Every structure is written in structure tokens, then in C-alpha cells.
Amino acid sequence: MPKFTVSKSALKRKWIAGEKDFSLEGETIFCKPCGKQFNFERKCQLEQHKKTTVHATNIQKQGNKRQRLLSECPPETGERPSSFVNDLVAVMLQEAIPLQKLDKETPLRKFVEKYWESEAIPCVKTLRTKVAPATHFQVIEKIRDEIEDSPIWCSVDETTDRLGRNMVNVIVGKLSGKSHSVTNEMLERFGMIDDNMCSFCGNEIETIKHVVLECPASQLQREELLKEITDHSLQLFNLDTLLATGTDPIHCALFKFLSAINFKV
């Protein structure tokens, strides 16, 4: 039988299979406890590294050290950055621009310093420790103000960064009966409300089928939708029309109808 050549990355991936302390970046093995990259050519080199005193010490430190949350960090003392610096950091975070872009001798820092001569831009470490947490808390307060006491949905994704530090991404949304994409039947089933009757007619259980096809409160919108569709040639009803995502008359009429009955899509 012909021999198959195994790539180095595939081979090294087998070496670290089941190893939570190592990850593979291309053909380089990254040791999370040590925070270093190693270009091991043989598996025995990896095994030797795992037996070193430095690696064992770093694993012990990692186990004893719990990563602090922003809410647990003590407030920074000393001179506060100006409103310009606060706004600059806030904009960079909102636009997903790494603060590292403001490090020394970077083009962005030179540009900012050229047109903002009133004060020196703090170093990146100061921006992270003094400015970024304040922006974080402002966003949290804004989310709390928007949600208030309403039922919510959330999606949580746990991951790690390239240094092996734990990270959690959380998306939070507001569940509201005002939007018919979340019906009273759903909210009642999840134990968020006690009454699952339609918010408009009050005669039937509020399901998506009822809101779109049966609710008397949506009768006028359904008639307008039917009229707009029948005004167009039947040639429009083909597979391309039904599956299209453009601005053809059929889809425009459909989205107009859904918007009229406050159905979020």
C-alpha cells in the first residue's frame, strides 16, 4: 500500500490530544502555564518539557491563582485621565480596535498626538487599568437601564484566549410581548407570565400562527398584503422569487405586513 505523509501540524495535534495545558498554533505548540511557544520536532521533547521544574511550578501557580473579575478590581487612585482619553478608549472598544494600537511608536498614537497636543496620551497599561474598566461599567449600566425588570434571554460562550486565560462571552436580549416574534404562549411556557392570551384580541392563545393568520386585529394588514400580492403578475411566484432575499415586490409586501403587525424578523 502507498505511504501517506502526515503533516507536522497533524502529528503535533496528536501529541497534545487531551492535554488541556497545550494548544497548537500552526506548527508551534503553545504551553499555557508557561506562556511560551515551543517548536518541538519530536514528542520526547514535549515530554521532557512537561517534566521540568519550571513547567510543574507554573501549573501549580495556575491552579492556585483565580482570575479576577473587573468588578473585583480595586479602584485606581491618582490623577484621572481627561474626557478626551476616556472618549478615545470608549470609541476604540466600541469599534473593536485593540488598545495595543496606542502603544509607543504606532501610527495611530502618532496621529492622535499630532492633532491632540493638550496632553500626553497615557501608556496602554494605564488605559487598560484606569479607563477601560470605567467604560465597561458604563456599558453594564446602560444594559441594565434598557432591560429593567423585563424577562431576558441570554447566550453564554466559554472560551480561552491565546494565553490560556478563561473568557466568557455573554449576549443578553430583552423578551417582550410587544414583539410578536416572542409570543405570550412562549412566555407562559417559560414561566415568565401567567396569561398566554393574545395581547390584541384577547380571544385566543397568542401563537405565531394566531398572530399572523387568525388574529382579528391583523385582518386589515392581511387584506392589504393579499391585495399587493394579487396586483402583481402570477409569474412572480416561482422558486427564485420565493427564495430571494432582494427587494422584489413579493418580499417587500411580506415585510411590510410583518412590520405592520409588529412581528420582528
Q: DSSP for 192-245?
A: S-S--B-SSS-SSB--HHIIIII-GGGHHHHHHHHHHHHTS-GGG-SHHHHH--
DSSP 69: P
Q: Is residue 103 part of a domain?
A: yes
What pLDDT score was predicted for residue 221?
Answer: 83
Contact 166, 160 (CB under 8 A): yes
Residue 90 lies in a domain: yes
Residue 186 has pLDDT above 50, yes or no: yes
User: Is the four-CA dihedral 50, 55, 60, 62 of positive or negative sign?
Assistant: negative
φ, ψ (nearest 5 deg) of residue 133: -60, -40
Q: Is 91 exposed, middle or buried (0-12, 13-18, 19+ CB in 10 A)?
A: exposed
> What pLDDT band is residue 184 in, cutting at 50, 70 and 90?
confident
Q: Which helix (H) or strand (E) holds 253?
A: helix 249-260
Which of the four pLDDT bands, split at 50, 70 and 90, describes residue 180?
very low
The CA-based angle 24-160-7, given to 5 degrees, is: 15
Helix (H) or strand (E) holding 168: strand 166-174
Residue 105 in any domain: the answer is: yes
Q: Which domain holds residue 54?
A: 8-64
Residue pointed to by grid coordinates 473579575: 69
d(CA 242, CA 259): 19
Q: Which three cell numbers stand for residue 65?
A: 491563582
Summarised one tens digit per residue, pLDDT across range 64-93 is: 655 555 555 554 545 566 788 888 888 888
**Does residue 89 contact residue 131 with C-beta atoms inside 8 Å?**
yes
Does any domain span residue 55?
yes
Q: Does 84 share its domain with 109?
A: yes
Inside any domain, residue 212: no
- CA 52 from chain centre, in angstroms, equals 38
Give tens-digit pLDDT for 111-121.
Answer: 888 888 777 78
End of a domain among 96, 114, 132? 132
- If asked whether residues 53 and 84 sit together in one domain, one would say no
Q: CA 90 to CA 17: how far, in whole Å?
A: 40
The contacts found for 134-139 with CB under 8 angstroms, 24 or more apart, are 134/86, 135/86, 135/89, 135/90, 135/93, 136/70, 137/70, 138/90
Do 12 and 58 lie in a common domain?
yes
The number of distinct structural domains making up the chain is 2
pLDDT of residue 164: 74
Per-residue model confidence as pLDDT tens digits over 128-168? 888 888 888 888 888 888 888 777 778 888 888 777 778 88
- Reading the block at residue 147, the C-alpha cell is 432591560
Q: Is the pTM for the entire model greater than 0.75? A: no
48 is a domain residue: yes
Here the cell at position 26 is 500552526
Is there a domain that residue 104 lies in? Answer: yes
Residue 157: inside a domain = no
